[in-house]
Amino acid sequence: MSKFITFEGVDGAGKSTHLEWFSDALRRRGFDVVVTREPGGTLLGEQLREILLNQSMNIGTEALLMFAARMEHIEQVIKPSLRAGKWVISDRFSDASFAYQGGGRGLNWGKLSQLEQWVHPDLQPDLTLFFDVPVEVARQRLSNNVSLDRFEQEQADFFERVRAGYYKRIQENPQRYVVIDAAQTLDMVKYKLEEIILTI
């Protein structure tokens, strides 16, 4: 039976590192796994990702482009893979738009809800893993990166708003979230992920 699982968190939370391990662990258990990301996941999506991560724009434009890339991603990758019985693991999905464009940028939450209803009214993740770290920890991790995109270059107060946006989203959809303390050691996080795999 197919599953749609998303990984979320502020930049620097370490979710991408854990996503790779989690996907490999599922494959070792015999599951057919598709790993993808947002923005991106398709040829058009990756082109939009390049624009979104590197070019300044109006916040409305930013949100619309995110959902445009998402619509392509859903129709070309996510839905076909789920129909084929595969497990889809995505590095970010619509929760990120609510957190970043809604929480971080201050875009009206209702407008984002309208976009979500238009783009995927019948699709939500079966499970969302939210990797949570204090913003100062995330910023310290990002300081090791040589090249930062325009989101990663934002100030700490932006990421505090993003984190709050995620928690607002969790309050609205508590049944599909697992919050993981990503400030722990890698081994401790992996132990938690192993526990999660045993329950899904």
Indicate the annotated binding residues for ATP: 9-16
Longest dimension (CA), the chain: 45
| CA-based nearest residue to 34, from 67, 70, 69, 83 | 83
Cβ–Cβ < 8 Å for 176, 111: no
Spatial distance between the Cα atoms of 115 and 111, rounded to a whole number of angstroms: 6
**5 SS3 class:** strand
Spatial distance between the Cα atoms of 14 and 182, rounded to a whole number of angstroms: 7
Specify binding-site residues: 9-16
Omega of the bond prior to 39 within 30 degrees of 0, cis?
A: yes
Cβ–Cβ < 8 Å for 159, 11: yes
Scanning the chain, the segments in alpha helix (DSSP H) are 15-28, 43-54, 59-73, 79-83, 94-97, 109-119, 135-142, 156-172, 186-199
| 2-to-6, 87, 117, 189 alpha-carbon distances in Å | 13, 5, 22, 24
